[in-house]
C-alpha cells in the first residue's frame, strides 16, 4: 500500500513499521518512500541503492540535513509486527519493531518533506539503508563515496535517532573484535590427547569481567564506556574436544579516543592474545559550541545530554558537517522485544522540528 504523507505522524509511523525492513531487505520500504516523494515538486529526488536523498533548492542562506535510517534489527519470535496502539498508565503507545529505532524519526522527516514546501532553511532529507549492521552496508557511507555533493554543502545535520525527544550530542565509537583460542582436537573420552580451546576462553572472559570501564566528560557531556562479550562459538560435535573457540567483543568508546587509539587500548586489555578487528566506527565529539548547533538547541529549548550509542553523527562529522541526535522514542527500548514509543512523543517531535523549519510557511496537519 502506498505511503500517505498527509496522514498524521503516528499513522505514518505505523505504516512504515509495518513494511518489514530488516537490514539488507530495505528495497520495499525504499520503493515506497521514493514513490511518496517523487510527486513533490519542491524536492529533487535522487536514489542510490536503497537510499533516497530529497533536496529543496530554494536558495536559502543555510542548508540543513535531516537524516534517518530505514532498516531495523531482526524481528522477534513471534514477530513484534504488525504495530499496535496500546493504552498504558502513562498514555497511549505505538508498539512494534521500528517504532523506536527509528521509523518514528523517519515519519517526522517524511511529514516535514510533505508539509513544509518552503522551509526557512534549505533541507536535504536522507533516508538510508544498512545502519544496523557493518559499516560497509551503510547507505550514508555510499552517498559519501558516490555523491558527496548531496550532503557536503550542508551547514548542520540532525539525525532523528531515538533520544526521548531531547538533544543528544556526539556519540561513542563502536568496535567489534574476534578473539580466537586454538587447541587440538581429540576424542572427548581421551581428552589428554588434545587441548580444549573453549576452556582457554576463560582467560578472555576473566579479563572482561575484571575490566573497569571509563566515564569520560567530553565538551561538558558525560560518556560511559562499555566492553562486553557479545557472542561465543566453538566445538563441532558432542564427542570432540574443540580445537577452536571464538569470542566476539564489542567495545563502546568515548569520543576522546580515535579509532586507532581504541584498537591500541584493546591490545592493552588483551595483551598476549591475537584478535581480528571486524568493525570499527569512530565516535563524534558533541560540537555544541558551533553556531548552527547552538541555534538548533535554542530553537527547541530541550535538555542536552551525551549520546551513549553510536550514530551516524560521526559520519557527518567526518564530512565536515556538525550534527546532533534528536528524535522520538526511548533509546533504552531500541532493539527491545517490547519496543514501543509514546504517541505524544511522536507528535511533539514533529511539532518541534516544524517550529524550527516552518517559520510560518506551514501548519501541522497540512498536506500537499
Buried b / exposed e over 334-363, threshold 16 CB at 10 Å, is: beeeebbbbbebbbebbebbbebbbeeebe
Out of 257, 281, 305, a domain closes at 281
pLDDT digits (tens, 9 = 90+) for 216-252: 999 889 999 999 999 999 999 999 999 999 999 999 9
Which pLDDT belongs to residue 359?
58
- The verdict on residue 191 lying in a domain is yes
Which pLDDT belongs to residue 289?
81
Query: Do both 29 and 149 map to the same domain?
Result: yes
- The verdict on residue 15 lying in a domain is yes
Which pLDDT belongs to residue 303?
85
pTM for this entry: 0.80
Query: Do both 41 and 161 map to the same domain?
Result: yes
Distance CA 257, CA 140 (A): 23
Query: Do both 53 and 166 map to the same domain?
Result: yes
Q: What is the chain's Cα-based Rg?
A: 23
Q: How many CA atoms lie within 13 A of 284 on its CB side?
A: 26
Query: Do both 300 and 329 map to the same domain?
Result: yes
Give the DSSP letter string of 9-61. HHHHHHHHHTS--BTT--HHHHHHHHHHHTT-TT-EEEEETTEEEEE--S--S
- The verdict on residue 46 lying in a domain is yes
Query: Do both 324 and 216 map to the same domain?
Result: no
Query: Do both 336 and 214 map to the same domain?
Result: no
- The verdict on residue 3 lying in a domain is no
Which pLDDT belongs to residue 366?
36
Out of 258, 281, 304, a domain closes at 281
> For residue 206, what are the CA distances in angstroms to 4, 110, 125, 138, 199?
53, 48, 46, 34, 12
Q: How many CA atoms lie within 13 A of 180 on its CB side?
A: 11
The continuous run of DSSP H or E covering 258 comes out as none
How many residues does this entry show for the chain? 368
Which pLDDT belongs to residue 294?
82
Out of 246, 263, 281, a domain closes at 281
What domain count does the chain have? 2
Instruction: Give the CATH number of the domain where residue 64 resides.
Output: 3.40.630.10
Q: Supply the range of the domain harboring residue 62.
A: 9-171+284-358
- The verdict on residue 297 lying in a domain is yes
Ranges under pLDDT 70 in the chain: 359-368
Roughly how many angstroms between the first and final C-alpha of the chain, as a whole number?
Answer: 19
Distance CA 253, CA 224 (A): 8
Query: Do both 167 and 177 map to the same domain?
Result: no
Give catalytic residue positions.
Answer: 71, 131
- The verdict on residue 337 lying in a domain is yes
- The verdict on residue 368 lying in a domain is no
Query: Do both 166 and 180 map to the same domain?
Result: no
Instruction: Give the CATH number of the domain where residue 240 resides.
Output: 3.30.70.360
Helix or strand or coil: residue 125?
A: strand
Which pLDDT belongs to residue 319?
86
Query: Do both 195 and 237 map to the same domain?
Result: yes
Identify the burial level of 161 via C-beta atoms within 10 angstroms of its C-beta, where 0-12 means exposed, 13-18 middle and 19 or more buried.
buried
- The verdict on residue 320 lying in a domain is yes
Could you tell me where the DSSP H helices lie in 90-238?
Answer: 103-115, 139-146, 197-210
Query: Do both 42 and 89 map to the same domain?
Result: yes
Query: Do both 161 and 255 map to the same domain?
Result: no
Contact predicate 362/56, CB 8 Å: no
Beta strands in the chain, from DSSP E residues, in sequence order:
44-48, 51-55, 63-69, 84-86, 93-95, 122-128, 156-159, 167-169, 173-182, 186-187, 215-218, 221-224, 226-234, 240-241, 244-253, 275-281, 304-306, 323-325, 340-342
Distance CA 148, CA 244 (A): 43
Amino acid at each position: 500500500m502506498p505511503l500517505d504523507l498527509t496522514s498524521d505522524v503516528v499513522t505514518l509511523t505505523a505504516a512504515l513499521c509495518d513494511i518489514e525492513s530488516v537490514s539488507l531487505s530495505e528495497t520495499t520500504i525504499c520503493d515506497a518512500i521514493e514513490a511518496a516523494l517523487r510527486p513533490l515538486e519542491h524536492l529533487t529526488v535522487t536514489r542510490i541503492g536503497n537510499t533516497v536523498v530529497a533536496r529543496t533548492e530554494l536558495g536559502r542562506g543555510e542548508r540543513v540535513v535531516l537524516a534517518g535510517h530505514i532498516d531495523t534489527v531482526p524481528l522477534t519470535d513471534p514477530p513484534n509486527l504488525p504495530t499496535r496502539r496500546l493504552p498504558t498508565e502513562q498514555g497511549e503507545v505505538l508498539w512494534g519493531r521500528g517504532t523506536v529505532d527509528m521509523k518514528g524519526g523517519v515519519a517526522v522527516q517524511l511529514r516535514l518533506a510533505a508539509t513544509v514546501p518552503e522551509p526557512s532553511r534549505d533541507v536535504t532529507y536522507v533516508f538510508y539503508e544498512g545502519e544496523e549492521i557493518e559499516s560497509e552496508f551503510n547507505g550514508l557511507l555510499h552517498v559519501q563515496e558516490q555523491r558527496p555533493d548531496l550532503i557536503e554543502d550542508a551547514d548542520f545535520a540532525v539525525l532523528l535517532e531515538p533520544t526521548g525527544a531531547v538533544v543528544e550530542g556526539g556519540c561513542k565509537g563502536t568496535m567489534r573484535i574476534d578473539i580466537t583460542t586454538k587447541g587440538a582436537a581429540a576424542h572427548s573420552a581421551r581428552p589428554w590427547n588434545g587441548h580444549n580451546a573453549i576452556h582457554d576462553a576463560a582467560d578472555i572472559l576473566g579479563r572482561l569481567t575484571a575490566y573497569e570501564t571509563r566515564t569520560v566528560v567530553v565538551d561538558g557531556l558525560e560518556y560511559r564506556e562499555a566492553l562486553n562479550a557479545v557472542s561465543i562459538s566453538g566445538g563441532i560435535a558432542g564427542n570432540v574436544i574443540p580445537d577452536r573457540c571464538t569470542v566476539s567483543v564489542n567495545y563502546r568508546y568515548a569520543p576522546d579516543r580515535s579509532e586507532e587509539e581504541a584498537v591500541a587500548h584493546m591490545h592493552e586489555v588483551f595483551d598476549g592474545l591475537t584478535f581480528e578487528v571486524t568493525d570499527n566506527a569512530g565516535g563524534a565529539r558533541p560540537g555544541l559550541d558551533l553556531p548552527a548547533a547552538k541555534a538548533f538547541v535554542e530553537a527547541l529549548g530541550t535538555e542536552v545530554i551525551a549520546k551513549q550509542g553510536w550514530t551516524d553523527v560521526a559520519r557527518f562529522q567526518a564530512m565536515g558537517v556538525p550534527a546532533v541526535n534528536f528524535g522520538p522514542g526511548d533509546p533504552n527500548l531500541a532493539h527491545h522485544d517490547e519496543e514501543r514509543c509514546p504517541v505524544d512523543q511522536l507528535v511533539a517531535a514533529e511539532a518541534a522540528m516544524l517550529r524550527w523549519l516552518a517559520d510560518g510557511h506551514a501548519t501541522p496537519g497540512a498536506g500537499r
